[in-house]
Structure 1
Amino acid sequence: MITEKLKEKKATKQGMLSNVMRQFNNASDKIQLNSNIRKILEITNNELVVHFPVKMDNGEVAVFTGYRVQHNNALGPYKGGLRYHPTVDIDAARALAMWMTWKTALAGLPYGGAKGGIQIDPKKYSTAELERITRRFTYALGDNIGPELDIPAPDVNTNPQTMAWILDTYMSTKSPNERSTNLHVVTGKPIGAGGSEGRDRATGYGVFLCIKFWAEQNEVSLRDKKFIVQGFGNVGYWAAYFLESEGAKMIGVQDASGTLYNNNGISVGSLAAYQNATGALSGYTNAEAIPGNDFFGLDCDICIPAALGNQITEHNAGDIKAKVIAEGANGPTDVPAEAMLLERGITIIPDILCNSGGVIGSYYEWLQNRNGEIWTLEEVMEKLEKKLRTSFEKINKVVGERKVDARTAAFIIAIERLEQAYLQRGIFP
């Protein structure tokens, strides 16, 4: 039994890297990507693995492993989140870093792609321990991150407080006259520590906007549409919040603690208040607890996977009844499942578009820090919507011109932008 679980875990890890490579190769074949540039883009630039000791609350020392993979910086500094999760390893970081490269290129940002994190379950540590772990990890990364080199951001199980610890630690290693110029070493910071209005909701709002654009394109109203959300963290909550504000109903929600269902609708605000009080969804009384395997088969219009990668597979893709899947997570749908869904006429709004609101919001925070500006929430949201609509329309244009699916179209736009940069600049030496 243990051996089988290990095999399954290993297959999942390899699957994310395999998925992104298959997506990349598929799009590259469609555009006959320059073979020399293809060699560059299919590998990472730098991979950092650090082992570091931290003193626990009981006085014992524990050694942790952290990762930072920098995939490509042809368009600008590396950009990508740091996650704290047991599944973090070098292959997961490679896959996620590649997706970040395509995401920033698609959005037209002056960034490359990176990703990383620490292989831990943060629920097992106190706040004081997490602070020491974060600060020691930052110190171990050293000058491999920087405001013009590699800019981390929050991801799974990390938040504005995590970024504030990283910022403070990084700035403490600099001379006094350098500290004021390093505020943008991380994004997703608390407002008081140089964060931006709207960054907290940017990813989830972007997911909502992509669903809204899809509805407009298909001339349907979101009112009374039923949706389900996997993962009720920052992304899932805000996507659900904005959909509910348009009159849609959340009928199903799932996290690591359990799966809830109520065909009459689950109040987003009420569930969020319960989760904040208890730390989990399980036990919420205004919905029925159902088996986790039944989640993706719920009868709904919109499905939002906003948890981890490889959640929709060939084993459950046939159960999905939604008309549209909005990928709030990175790589939630594997390649065989996507083929099955597209054959059934189900629309997939690809992750590198759908959840790109986060990195766009991060870019706006980075710009404000860099330029000494402070924007209002309305300014940030307006700019975010404009940029996402531009990307959505570009993808639709390529879908029509090249007769490809939306994910392939998104990859084509991203890869062609990188190809152009390399062709114009040349390869050193």
Structure 2
Amino acid sequence: MTTTITSEKKQLKQGMLDNVMRQFNNAADIIELNKNIRKILEVTNNEFIVHFPVRMDNGEVEIFTGYRVQHNNALGPYKGGLRYHPTVDIDAARALAMWMTWKTSLAGLPYGGAKGGIQLDPTKYSQDELQRITRRFTYALGDNIGPELDIPAPDVNTNAQTMAWILDTYMSTKSPNERSKNLHVVTGKPIGAGGSEGRDRATGYGVFLTIKFWAENKKVDLKNKRFIVQGFGNVGYWAAHFLEKEGAILTAVQDAYGSIYNEDGISTEKLLEYVQANKGSVLGFSGANTMDSADFFGLDCDICIPAALGNQITVENAPKIKARLIAEGANGPTDVKAEEILLKRGVDIIPDILCNSGGVIGSYFEWLQNRNGEIWHLDEVLEKLEKKMRESFGKVVHKAKSKKVDMRTAAFIIAIERLEETYVQRGIFP
């Protein structure tokens, strides 16, 4: 059994790296990317693997492995999340760091791409242990992160509290007169620790916005449209929250524990209350019935939002999908071969580097506020976020039409062309 699970995890991680490289090469071929620039973008700039000891609550010492991969910084400091998950390893970090490079470039941000995390299951550790693990990991990374070098953010199984621990640990390594200059070493912080209004919902709100823009483009009314969400964490919840406000109906949710379904609709707010009181699981929620998770993606719906982990939509379940639209709240949720099946069937896909870019845009706003000593109100943050994402969505739709390609390829082309222009203008040292 252990061998099977390990093998499945290995295939998942190899698949993510293979997927991002196929997506990159496909777009690079179409635009006939300069071969020398292609060589640069095919590899990561820096990769850090750190092993560090942490004392557990019982007095025993456990060794953890942490990763940080910095893919490219031609456009600005490295930017990307830190996740705590058993699937985290160097290949997963490489794939996710590359996606971040394309995501920040597409959004027009002055950032490059990075990603990382710790290989662990956070549910097996106490809050105090997670704090010590986080602080020790931050200390191990040292000056390989920094407010003008590499700015981490929350990701899978990390949150505002995690960022506060990183911030405090990082600032503790600086002299007193330098500490105030390092508030923007991480984003996604609690409000009281320099966080931004709206950052908590930025990714999910961005997913909703891209669905809204798609509906406007297709002249579709979202009212009474049925949608399903895989992953009811921060991204899945907020996307569902805003869609429900538009009159759309949430009919099914899947998480790591199982799947629930109610054809008459699931209350997003009641489900959130239940999940928060039930250690993060949707199972047992009285407003829905439990269903076989293998049938989740085949449910009758209009919109499917995969907002969990990578490679969830595969050649096995893609033919069963009935949704007209897939909005990728997660990074790399759709396998390349599965996407080919879906596109041939006329299913629209809003690609991850566009769909979930609200998070990094929100992080940019927080970074700017910290850097400039400003505080923006929630309405201002959401208004700026919608303007930025509408601009990106419009560019992708226009590029897709002009190049006669799908939305993902169009998004990659825009991202790569911006990087190519930067390298052409600046030259390559020496």
Instruction: State the TM-score, normalized to the length of structure 1.
Output: 0.99
| Deviation of 1:2 (Å) | 4.4
State whether structure 2 residue 235 is matched by structure 1 residue 242: no
| SS of match in other structure, 1:201 | helix
Partner residue in 2 for 1:106: 106
Instruction: Give the 5 Å matches for 1:407-422.
Output: 407-422=408-423
Equivalent position of 1:362 in the other structure? 363
Partner of 1:20: 20
1:110-189 to structure 2, matched below 5 A, reads: 110-189=110-189
Aligned-partner SS, 2:189: coil
- Find the aligned partners of 1:332 and 1:6 in 2 and give their Cα distance: 19
Identity score, percent: 77
Distance 1:170 1:362 in 2: 18
Aligned positions of 1:27-46 closer than 5 A: 27-46=27-46
Query: How big is the shift at 1:286?
Result: 1.2
Post-superposition offset of 1:258: 1.2
Letter in 1 for 2:56: M
CA distance in structure 1 between the aligned counterparts of 2:230 and 2:253, rounded to whole angstroms: 6
Question: Secondary structure, in 3 states, of the residue corresponding to 1:76?
Answer: coil
Letter in 2 for 1:422: Y
In the alignment, what sits opposite 1:57?
57
SS at match of 1:196: coil
AA at the equivalent of 1:262: N
**Displacement of 1:7:** 2.8
Aligned-partner residue type, residue 218 of structure 2: N
Bigger mean CA deviation after superposition, 197-206 or 276-285: 276-285
Partner residue in 1 for 2:9:
9
**1:315 corresponds to:** 316
Deviations 1:351-372 (A, max 9, x none): 0000000000000000000000
The 3-state SS of whatever aligns with 1:192 is: helix
State the alpha-carbon separation in 1 of the partners of residues 10 and 189 from structure 2. Answer: 34
Q: Which amino acid aligns with 1:315?
A: E
Q: Which runs of 5+ in 1 are unaligned?
A: none
| Residue in structure 1 matched with residue 297 of structure 2 by the alignment | 296
**SS of equivalent residue, structure 1 residue 221:** coil
Q: Which residue number corresponds to residue 391 of structure 1?
A: 392
Q: Secondary structure at the match of 1:156?
A: coil
CA–CA distance in 1 between the matches of 2:5 and 2:124? Answer: 22
Superposition pairs for residues 60-75 of structure 1, below 5 Å? 60-75=60-75
**2:220 is matched with which residue?**
220
CA distance in 2, matches of 1:84, 1:57: 19
Match status 1:287 vs 2:288: yes
* Matching residue of 1:404: 405
Q: What residue is the counterpart of 1:85 in the other structure?
A: 85
CA distance in 2, matches of 1:368, 1:69: 26
Matched, 1:196 2:196: yes
Letter matched to residue 101 of structure 2: T
Correspondence for 1:342: 343
C-alpha distance after superposition, 1:25-76 (max 9, x if no partner): 0000000000000000000000000000000000000000000000000000
Q: 1:205 is aligned with what amino acid? A: Y
Q: Distance in 2 between matches of 1:135 and 1:9?
A: 27
1:373-417 CA-partner distances (Å, limit 9, x unpaired): 000000000000000000000001111110000000000000000
What is the alpha-carbon distance in structure 1 between the residues aligned to residue 68 and residue 164 of structure 2? 18
Alignment pair present for 1:270 and 2:278: no
What is aligned with 1:371?
A: 372
* CA distance in 1: counterparts of 2:330 and 2:169, whole angstroms: 29
Distance (Å, rounded) in 1 between the aligned partners of 2:22 and 2:258 = 32
Give the count of matched residue pairs: 429
Residue in 2 that maps onto 1:211 = 211
After TM superposition, give the deviation of residue 12 of structure 1 in Å. 1.2
* Structure-1 separation of matches of 2:343 and 2:254: 24
In structure 1, C-alpha distance between the alignment counterparts of 2:8 and 2:327, rounded to whole Å: 26
- CA shift for structure 1 position 257: 1.2
| CA–CA separation in structure 1 for the residues paired with 2:266 and 2:369 | 37
**TM-score, structure 2 length as denominator?**
0.99
- The CA deviation at 1:18 is 0.1
CA distance in 1, matches of 2:77, 2:290: 45
Shift in Å at residue 259 of structure 1? 0.2
Please tell me the residue identity of whatever aligns with 1:261: Y
In 2: Cα distance, 1:316 partner to 1:122 partner:
29
Q: Which amino acid aligns with 1:367?
A: L
Offset of 1:9 from its aligned partner?
2.3
- SS across alignment from 2:157: coil
